[in-house]
Structures are given as structure tokens and as C-alpha cells.
Amino acid sequence: MNYHFKIMNQNEVEKVISWKYEGVYAFYDMEADMEDLREFREFAADNRNYWSVYEKEMLVGFFSYHDQDLNQVEIGLGMNPEMVGQGYGLSFLEAGIEKAIDLYQPSSLSMSVAEFNKRAIKVYQKAGFIKENTFVQRTNGGMYPFVSMIKELNQTT
């Protein structure tokens, strides 16, 4: 796919908020956690850390990037439910990794994923992320186990 990125606008924020996932993946519906929903609605639009991703005219997903200490960037992402489970995950993630490198030139990338989401973990591992540790996080009205993953980047000079 040929993805193109643009800084997220308020209309795109509202589209992402409306996305509904099936089955156990409803965990990722924005309305499942009111605090995350409020934060996304208030801060994602016109913020250089939040990017909408298009393939032609279709909004296929988004990435968020948060510059951490030690030259590390934390990646957050969401894919349009119409695209989930169709084999686009790896190319989507690789495009997001390239964007992170272009924006920040980090030495490593990190991300966290719900432990139950074996499908996403498999894609992240194919992209070169390795499991770092597990932790429990309060979200969606409860406490859930998450996996922290990291990808070291080769810096060429």
C-alpha cells in the first residue's frame, strides 16, 4: 500500500473516536476508556505528535509519537476496523516506523500492547520489536496486563 501521513485534524479525530472493533478487540474502542477518549479528543487534533494515515482517500489509521528520554520514541497506533485482520498490519506499522525515524531520528522505538492481543504482538515482532516486560495498567474500568516492546534502530552516519 502507498500510505501518506498528515497531521490529524478534528474531523479525523471524530472519525477515529467512532471506530468500533469486533469481539475482544472492542477493548480498543475509544469510548471504552473515558479518560483516553477525553485526552484524544482534546489533544490529538493539530498536534504534531498525532498523524492520520491515508491510502488514497481512505483513512486507514493513525499514529501517535511521544519523544521519550534516552532518544526513544513511544509509538501508539490505531487501524481502521475495516482494515483489521486483512494482512495490512505489517506494512502499516513499517510506514509508521519510517515516519517516526523521519520526525525524531531516535535510537529506539517502544510500544505497549494488551497482552491478549496476540495478533498485534506477532505483527510487532515481525517488524523487529522484542518483548521487554509485562506490566498491569488501569484502563477501560479495570486492571489489564500489557506487554512493553522495544525496537533498536541502526543509526547510520
Q: With a cut of 50, say whether residue 157 has pLDDT above it.
A: no
Where do the structural domains in the chain lie, given as residue ranges?
3-152
Q: With a cut of 90, say whether residue 41 has pLDDT above it.
A: yes
Q: Which CATH superfamily is domain 3-152 in?
A: Gcn5-related N-acetyltransferase (GNAT) (3.40.630.30)
Write down the pLDDT at residue 68. Answer: 72
Write down the pLDDT at residue 15. Answer: 97
Q: CA 114 to CA 36: how far, in whole Å?
A: 15
Write down the pLDDT at residue 155. Answer: 57
* Phi-psi label, residue 2: left if phi above 0, alpha if psi -120 to 50, beta otherwise: beta
Q: With a cut of 60, say whether residue 108 has pLDDT above it.
A: yes
Hey, how many other C-beta atoms are within 10 angstroms of the C-beta on 119? 13
- Taking residues 1-30, what's their average pLDDT? 95
The mean pLDDT value of the chain amounts to: 94
Q: Range with the lowest mean pLDDT among 2-11, 68-77, 91-100? A: 68-77
Report helix angle 34-43 to 10-18, nearest 10. Answer: 160
- Taking residues 13-32, what's their average pLDDT? 94
Hey, how many other C-beta atoms are within 10 angstroms of the C-beta on 77? 19
Burial of 22 (0-12, 13-18, 19+ CB in 10 A): exposed
- Taking residues 76-100, what's their average pLDDT? 96
